[in-house]
Amino acid sequence: MGIANSPIRPSRISSLDVTRAIALVGVVTMNYHAYLNKDKAFYPPRPSFAERIFNPLSGILTTRFAATFVLVAGMSIALLVQSAMQSGNTDLIRSAQMKLARRGLFLYALGAAVQWIWPGTILFYYGAFLLISAVMCTWSNRSLITISLVSIAVSTGLSAWRGYQFFQGNFTQWLSPAPNSPRNLFIRTFFDYTHPVFPWITFICAGIILGRNLERLSHLRTRIMLLSSVALFATFLIRTFVMPDSITSQSDYVLQRALSTNNHDHAILHVTSTLAVALLAFCIISLITDLRPTSRAVAFLARTGQMTLSIYLAHVLVFNLVVNWLNWVRPTGLDTALVLSLAFYIAAVPVSSLWNRRFGIGPCERVYRAFGG
């Protein structure tokens, strides 16, 4: 997940690390809010404006940070295999694919273990994305777009079908099986829960395509931002004027599920708006990074972005330590989650920056590289 340390790096690569570092702030905040406040985070009785924004289920920020992370992962994959693809050497290409597969297997196994204390961790899915990317990384852009559209169609169709079944009184519980079973592992990986392959592989595909064009980013940035803004506006219009306000029939309920922006429904509007936000975030961050490539803030965040795996695992351990084991922090609402996440990040950023300057890549990244190459 990290990129090898060096004191001065090209701004286009620094932009990836800086984006990771900033996205991690949101991931930590949303996770702490969801895990600390539980039902009150998802279903606050009288939600404030801030609680609506940070709602882990339906807030405008939900999954956007994680999606930005996955988008950047796709770009990193493109860069990893770029030289092998350009050489045309099948052995080099196969070596790059095996490296991705080993790294994916490591993260998949690590995520499955972390699930025991942190259900819904993205590491589990991140590993699955890398495993699939080991095959897809050599595909043409047209093929990647096709698989993305198929992925969105499958997830949207499944959401609509589950809505239809629910209206008929069938709760499709077989799609949410008991934990720790092989069927649960398969369904969670591909179709259900927080970040399933369908439709999240779309963000990886978009990242790979963008990563192949990073050299032209300065020329493409304005167009990407314009198209992303149009997509967001179109999503807003469809949700406002097409989605039914009330459920009076089965077709209303099915349409509501098909056009849902709820992150657990994984429907087309949610995927479209999330991808648009992730692209906008990267374009804005990369623009600032390009304008100030030698600034201390960019260097500071870039070093932090090289240690996101270590920081992510640290935030899981810190939460369990201070909340579940020592009972130092008790849930009082969004304010507690914001303070706890801010305190963690304020401590994590300088520590990771100092570690990176002295030792290079982080401790978890070192193990990750040792296994994956």
The pLDDT assigned to 170 comes to 78
| Assigned domain for 6 exists | no
The pLDDT assigned to 9 comes to 38
Report H helices in 242-330: 250-258, 268-291, 296-305, 308-319
The pLDDT assigned to 209 comes to 97
The pLDDT assigned to 367 comes to 93
CA angle at residue 74 from 116 to 293, to 5 degrees?
110
Cβ atoms of 129 and 76 within 8 Å: the answer is no
Nearest to 31 by CA among 267, 373, 316, 323: 316
| Assigned domain for 166 exists | yes
The pLDDT assigned to 319 comes to 95
| Assigned domain for 235 exists | yes
| Assigned domain for 2 exists | no
* pLDDT tens figures, 242-269: 887 777 788 888 898 899 888 888 999 9
Taking the C-alpha atoms of residue 63 and residue 105, their distance in angstroms, rounded to an integer, is: 23
Weakly modelled stretches of the chain, pLDDT under 50? 1-12
| Assigned domain for 175 exists | yes
Please state whether the predicted TM-score (pTM) of the whole model is above 0.85.
Answer: yes
The pLDDT assigned to 59 comes to 78
Domain extent for 81: 11-372
Crossing angle of the two packed helices 268-291 and 197-211, in degrees rounded to 10: 30
Share of the chain above pLDDT 70, in %: 95
Give me the number of domains the chain comprises: 1
The pLDDT assigned to 12 comes to 45
| Assigned domain for 5 exists | no
The pLDDT assigned to 339 comes to 94
| Assigned domain for 1 exists | no
Taking the C-alpha atoms of residue 200 and residue 155, their distance in angstroms, rounded to an integer, is: 9
Assigned token pair, 134: 């080991």
Cβ atoms of 7 and 327 within 8 Å: the answer is no
The pLDDT assigned to 24 comes to 93
* pLDDT tens figures, 80-106: 999 888 888 899 999 999 999 999 999
| Assigned domain for 4 exists | no
